[in-house]
Amino acid sequence: LAVIDIQGDYTPDTEGTDEEKMRLPMVSEAVAYVKDELSPNSSYGACYFPWVQIKDDFSSNQLWVPPSVVALGTFSYTKKNSAVWFAPAGFNRGGLSGPNRSSGLNVINSRMGLTVKERDALYEVGINPIAKFPAEGVVVFGQKTLQQTPSALDRINVRRLMNFVKKEISRFATTVLFDPNVQVTWDRFTGKANPFLNSVKTGLGVTDYKIVLDKTTTGIIIIGLVVTSFKLSGIIIFLFLFKHE
């Protein structure tokens, strides 16, 4: 999952010679860039807005960093404290300042304050806003991927869930590679895959799942996952191809 920094955000003085007011972030420019120039439609990418200010705990220096820096930190924090299929956003897992420090850095400010209308404009095109609240401080307030087609995969937590499941299931599948296409082989695979997928279900990663592997599938493992993401639900089908000899 690529986390990219976009045009229309803050330009530091090390990257431009314009006066500061000309280098400040602009929501309209960021939205236009993603919508008209970038024109993405992939669940394997995500972007955030705007830059944030962090304080170095060792030197006490304050500096501005791109939003991708702290966004990646929330991914790690979410995996460590919850699971990859939980949203790396909101006050619990996206709080960048205060005791949580979900990015792993001491975030003290954002480059611009965002109104509700501006947050909505950003989110509509797939830009995850980093907002600032009076009590909670700076917070990642969105978790969309750059997929424009509405589906469960337009959410970061679902994309990360799918990456995680595909990696583990592929690892199980290699253990039966080139084995006879018979019941005992199918049972060996499902004996590993079922407990794994059930643990994902128990951990609230999926609503339900089903594995189809028998003489009708002819060397194809069919796995259906029922996932729920905010108001969107869907069934995602994995096809794993492997050869028996």
Reported as a single tens digit per residue, the pLDDT across 168-193 is 998 998 888 888 888 898 899 999 99
- The more confident residue out of 245 and 158 is 158
pLDDT digits (tens, 9 = 90+) for 43-81: 999 999 999 999 988 888 999 999 999 999 999 999 999
Q: Which of 55-64, 94-103, 184-193, 218-227 has the lowest mean pLDDT?
A: 218-227
Question: Hey, CA dihedral for 146, 151, 153, 158, is it positive or negative?
Answer: positive
Angstrom CA distances, 161 to 43, 203, 226, stand at 12, 12, 12
Amino acid, single-letter form, for residue 239: L
Report pTM: 0.89
Amino acid, res. 180 = P
| Strand ranges across the sheet with 220-229 | 208-212, 220-229, 232-241
